[in-house]
Copies of this chain bind each other. A is one copy, B any other.
Amino acid sequence: MPRVGLDKTKIIQAAIAIANEHGIEQVSIASLAKNLGVRPPSLYNHFKSLMEIRTQIAREGMQRLEETLLRSVAGKSGEDALLHFSKQYLLFANDHPGLYEATIQPMNTPDKVVKETSKNMIDLLIQLLATFSLEEENALHLVRGLRSIVHGFASLQRADGFQMNFKVEESLLYTIQILCKGIKQET
């Protein structure tokens, strides 16, 4: 019975690797145990349940995404900021598909940390829109619109909903540009 030396961090890292390679639904106690060279019940020394592991993945995902987005708009404003925000959002979903997947699913399962990080991202978008000096209610409408656009692109892209042959990133940025044209006209 040679001790493997597991801890929460190693388990979550393995879980994220599985999620990114094979999808979040492939993260199971069984697959994790096999990957870590351990029997399934051993994982219960570190986590209470599979759901707790999934929630932890979601937290990590949200936090890394938030950091990425914050970095993407540092020192930028207006349309420029929105374009960089959107581009990095899409890239993140592309580079860490399982992690991104995990961040969406558990909006059902209300985890405090996940929800709070999500709220931070909304606040960030509100800040980015501030440059356009919209009426408050309209700004909130557009925050939803922007979230929908980036999330929509991220998930439809992953789902291969876009079967056309030219770049998805271009489409996203073009859409944001057109939206900004409309916003500028509005104010």
Binding site for B on A (CB under 8 A): 23, 104, 107-108, 110, 118-119, 137-138, 140-142, 144-145, 147-153, 155-156, 159-164, 166, 168, 170-172, 174-175, 177-183, 185-186
Contact = CB atoms under 8 A, between A and B. Distances in A.
Contact of A142 (B23, B118, B160, B178): B178
Given A107-B161, A178-B183, A180-B182, A155 B144 contact: no
B107 A174 contact: no
Which of A151, A163, A172 has most chain B Cβ within 10 Å? A151
A139 to B, nearest CB: 10
Which of A23, A160, A171 has most chain B Cβ within 10 Å? A171
Contact of A147 (B144, B152, B179): B152
Which of A140, A172, A177 has most chain B Cβ within 10 Å? A140
Main secondary structure of the interface of A (DSSP, over half): helix
B179 A108 contact: no
B161 A140 contact: no
A178 B164 CA distance: 26
B144 A168 contact: yes
Contacts of A182: 177-183, 185
A148 to B, nearest CB: 3
Given A145-B149, A183-B178, A171 B140 contact: yes
Given A149-B152, A180-B182, A182-B183, 12 more contacts: A108-B160, A118-B161, A142-B175, A144-B153, A144-B168, A148-B151, A148-B152, A148-B153, A152-B155, A178-B182, A178-B186, A181-B181
